[in-house]
Structure 1
Amino acid sequence: MENMEIKKLIGKTFLDISEAIQSGHFGTKVKVGLTTLGSEHGVENLVKGAELAAKDSSDFEIVLIGPKVDTELEIVEVNSEDEMHKKMEELLDSKYIASCVTMHYNFPIGVSTVGRVITPARGKEMFLATTTGTASAHRTEAMVKNALYGIITAKAMGNPNPTVGILNLDGARQVERALRELDTNGYKVNFAESMRSDGGAVMRGNDLLAGTADVMVTDTLTGNIMMKVFSSYTTGGSYEAMGYGYGPGIGIDYERAILILSRASGSPVVANAIKYAAKLAQGNLAEVSKREVKAARAAKLDEILAGFTKETKKESSDEEVAMPEKEVVTGSISGIDIMDLEDAVQALWKAGIYAESGMGCTGPIVLVNEGKMVEATEALAKAGFIAGSGSPC
């Protein structure tokens, strides 16, 4: 009997050594927390997800924070959601756990979460930036921050140069201009190219399904809806069966690695979220965040963001701008935000160029005479309506 126990011990020792060599992690494993109160599917659903993750936990350990249950996993016992989140924060701040997965957690303004999904068209993983929280009260400023948060998360997950696409929403062109300015100033942004024939960094629905970009930038409410669709389109919505959850809360100067699950998340998503949390901890998420924020600020991030919210003097809307003589307008200039479209037309009229507003296949466009495309594009760029040259649809 003793010989059998010795053989088991020797076997486990060699297995541990083998796993350490394969994973590249030696010594103490990282500990990942999971809070177990608050799910629409009960405590058992969360514990089952943790036990599924534990089967693949060669380089991390799981700590449950919640009521006592029948499991071999470590439990820090609490009996209410308020107590649970306080204990979670205490364990994170003391470094007893490196990251934690939870539900219904209130982040401060400035922090939003980066989800991780598997796209249905090609089975490609994609980061949705962002899915819960609020990076800024100003929508466009928030989306620029969301892009940075997505890049931070992708890099912490081991992708050194993630591609970035911007979902075709109101404000997308302003976000693109800001990111291109950041790139010009020295903070590298690796823009994705849409799979559609006209390309560009502004992504359409096809790109969402195919996972064209590693990081898909969106406003948080849209990102939240997309997370729910990607996670539960096969189940009718009441049970999220796929993906990795709503992801880590990222923010400038925010250090806690707290990942969010929906109350509708099923045990497969719970398991994946725990693995997501473990890998982010191993990738030193907090350090990556500090490094990337520092680099972005060196490229004038703060000044670019201030440009969205500062008070600017605008021409009175009552000012009469004479319309130039009408011309045939078959040339189209894209890259203008819907909210700026009529102002862009007025700016061209003021410059003596006849223009009309329209809606192309990629969004808002300004229509001008083909012979005046270069002149009109330069005028719009000088006035700050576009980042560069427009392109026909």
Structure 2
Amino acid sequence: MADNNIKSMIGKVFNDIADAMQTGQFGERVRVGITVAGSELGIDNIVKGAEMAQARDNSIEVVLIGPKVDSKLTQYNVEGEDAQHKKMEELLDSGEIGACVTMHYNFPIGVSTVGRVITPGRGREMFLATTTGTSSPHRVEAMVKNGIYGIIAAKAMGIENPTVGILNVDGARQVERAFKDLSSKGYPVNFTESGRADGGSVMRGNDLLTGTPDIMITDTLTGNLLMKVFSSFATGGSYEAQGFGYGPGIGEDYDRTILILSRASGTPVVSNAISYAASLVRGNVTKIAKEEFEKANKAGLKDILKGLTKDTKKAEAKEEETVEAPPAETVTGTINGIDIMELEDAVQALWKAGIYAESGMGCTGPIVMVNEAKLNEATKALAKAGYDVGEADPC
């Protein structure tokens, strides 16, 4: 038995040397698993993607998990999607594989995936944070966590100081305030500026197409939709042909590197997702996640997140409070920078201050409208009430 073990070890050493000479990369190969059953495009689609990833990078060893198939790749044969996931988890937890790519996997609450796309405007890579899973049942808290997950993925991929933008969706301004608070307390966030004339860290639709930030923060449902559009806009939607898939599930204290594909992900995306997985293993994504959460928590992340959920309770309490509007006036002055989720509260705050106001939607997003003569007074009143405000800007 001892002789067999020694022979096995010697054989592995010689194989590693041969691989290193061929690839120019010395050290152990990264073993990445992929579950083969479950694709709407058939098992063959997954296997071809796995073989493509193996052929173009011999520093990766791709292993197949699922029913037996005709392939020279290493296989762990099990039947059924549940059995695939169970075997995948066993291999991950034992260290036999460093990461795994799969479909239709349920992450625990607090874990969501960071997708990676190629934007059509300038061919830039961009991380979408996030694309599947639920970081938190509370929308704004979830988006703040999504941003940290995006930073973790980008750093694991070798981007030391990734730029961050927040997509202009519900809750964006609250997320921006939370990150500015976190940054001021010791967790630096490298905000980028929108490519549009108004600038700012809240991103417009144009910024999606050009890939303005390294990391685009959004809610998960929007991120999921964007992944589908970016990956299949040229194919009619039934075949996802571009990008790197929906990415790794990331969360505090979550230590499995599991990446998600859609059931409509085509062979090129399958191959790219395996490469993405291998790069995350090399970049030690679990170690980076631990370090980033330690830094963020030291800067008061948990208190900031608690404050966000308290704001929701306050908003619910405000719904029962009736505020009478001052006498109506012509409202041609506009104030932007108010999040749509806080828009009506901002109007009520001005009414309390004796300033007539109405809510509306401008070309850059939600606006508060007041009499032009009272614009400065209204801006100061909103700032005093804790709202981030900006000047109006044309589309």
Which amino acid counterpart does residue 369 of structure 2 have in structure 1? L
**Secondary structure, aligned partner of 1:121:** coil
Alpha-carbon spacing, 1:303–1:240, altered in 2? closer, same or farther (3 Å): same
CA distance in 1, matches of 2:194, 2:50: 37
After superposing the two structures, state which structure 1 stretch, 200-209 or 369-378, moved more: 369-378
| Deviation digits for residues 31-83 of structure 1 (CA, Å, limit 9, x no counterpart) | 11111111111111111001110122232211111122222211111122111
CA distance in 1, matches of 2:45, 2:318: 59
CA distance in 2, matches of 1:337, 1:278: 39
Unmatched segments (≥5 aa) in structure 1: 1-9
Alpha-carbon spacing, 1:321–1:220, altered in 2? closer, same or farther (3 Å): same
Alpha-carbon spacing, 1:185–1:375, altered in 2? closer, same or farther (3 Å): farther
| Deviation digits for residues 330-371 of structure 1 (CA, Å, limit 9, x no counterpart) | 443222122221221221232233433222211111234556
Structure 2 match to 1:363: 365
CA distance in 1, matches of 2:65, 2:254: 22
Please show how residues 309-328 of structure 1 align to structure 2 within 5 Å: 309-310=309-310, 311-312=313-314, 314-315=317-318, 317-321=320-324, 323=326, 326=329
Tell me the number of residue pairs that the alignment of Structure 1 and Structure 2 aligns.
Answer: 376
Structure 1 match to 2:118: 118
Structure 1 match to 2:199: 199
CA contact (8 A) 1:99 1:281 kept: yes
Q: CA deviation at 1:93?
A: 0.6
Q: CA deviation at 1:379?
A: 2.7
Determine which of 333, 350, 367 is the counterpart of 2:335.
333
Alpha-carbon spacing, 1:286–1:13, altered in 2? closer, same or farther (3 Å): closer
Structure 2 match to 1:93: 93
CA distance in 2, matches of 1:316, 1:60: 56
CA contact (8 A) 1:48 1:267 kept: yes
Q: Does 1:352 align with 2:364?
A: no
Q: Does 1:217 align with 2:212?
A: no
Q: Does 1:19 align with 2:47?
A: no
CA contact (8 A) 1:324 1:352 kept: no
Which amino acid counterpart does residue 356 of structure 1 have in structure 2? E
Alpha-carbon spacing, 1:18–1:67, altered in 2? closer, same or farther (3 Å): closer
| Deviation digits for residues 300-328 of structure 1 (CA, Å, limit 9, x no counterpart) | 111111122233384464434451674x6
Alpha-carbon spacing, 1:31–1:345, altered in 2? closer, same or farther (3 Å): same
CA contact (8 A) 1:324 1:349 kept: no
CA contact (8 A) 2:35 2:64 kept: yes
CA contact (8 A) 2:325 2:356 kept: no
Alpha-carbon spacing, 1:65–1:93, altered in 2? closer, same or farther (3 Å): same
CA distance in 2, matches of 1:262, 1:129: 16
Alpha-carbon spacing, 1:305–1:157, altered in 2? closer, same or farther (3 Å): same
CA distance in 1, matches of 2:199, 2:245: 29
Structure 1 match to 2:379: 377
CA distance in 1, matches of 2:325, 2:194: 38
CA contact (8 A) 1:144 1:175 kept: yes
Give the alignment's TM-score, normalised by structure 1. 0.90
Which amino acid counterpart does residue 30 of structure 1 have in structure 2? V
CA distance in 2, matches of 1:242, 1:47: 17
CA distance in 1, matches of 2:334, 2:58: 56
Q: CA deviation at 1:13?
A: 6.0
Structure 1 match to 2:10: none
Q: CA deviation at 1:252?
A: 1.2
Q: CA deviation at 1:157?
A: 0.6
| Deviation digits for residues 12-43 of structure 1 (CA, Å, limit 9, x no counterpart) | 968733633xxxx5221111111111111111
After superposing the two structures, state which structure 1 stretch, 359-368 or 238-247, moved more: 359-368
Q: CA deviation at 1:225?
A: 0.9
CA distance in 2, matches of 1:215, 1:29: 29
Structure 2 match to 1:33: 33
Q: CA deviation at 1:169?
A: 1.1
After superposing the two structures, state which structure 1 stretch, 368-377 or 195-204, moved more: 368-377
Give the alignment's TM-score, normalised by structure 2. 0.90
Which amino acid counterpart does residue 21 of structure 2 have in structure 1? I
Structure 1 match to 2:176: 176
CA distance in 1, matches of 2:166, 2:232: 23
Unmatched segments (≥5 aa) in structure 2: 1-13
CA contact (8 A) 2:65 2:88 kept: yes
Q: CA deviation at 1:162?
A: 1.1
Please show how residues 259-278 of structure 1 align to structure 2 within 5 Å: 259-278=259-278
Alpha-carbon spacing, 1:72–1:297, altered in 2? closer, same or farther (3 Å): same
CA distance in 2, matches of 1:49, 1:315: 54
Q: CA deviation at 1:288?
A: 0.6
CA distance in 1, matches of 2:262, 2:19: 35
Alpha-carbon spacing, 1:380–1:13, altered in 2? closer, same or farther (3 Å): same
Which amino acid counterpart does residue 234 of structure 2 have in structure 1? T
After superposing the two structures, state which structure 1 stretch, 243-252 or 162-171, moved more: 162-171
**Secondary structure, aligned partner of 1:188:** coil
After superposing the two structures, state which structure 1 stretch, 254-263 or 139-148, moved more: 139-148
Q: CA deviation at 1:136?
A: 0.7
CA distance in 2, matches of 1:297, 1:378: 33
CA contact (8 A) 2:323 2:352 kept: no
Which amino acid counterpart does residue 175 of structure 1 have in structure 2? V
CA distance in 2, matches of 1:331, 1:95: 62
**Secondary structure, aligned partner of 1:297:** helix
CA RMSD of aligned residues (A): 2.1
| Deviation digits for residues 84-138 of structure 1 (CA, Å, limit 9, x no counterpart) | 1111001101111111000010101111111101111111111111111111111
Q: Does 1:287 align with 2:291?
A: no
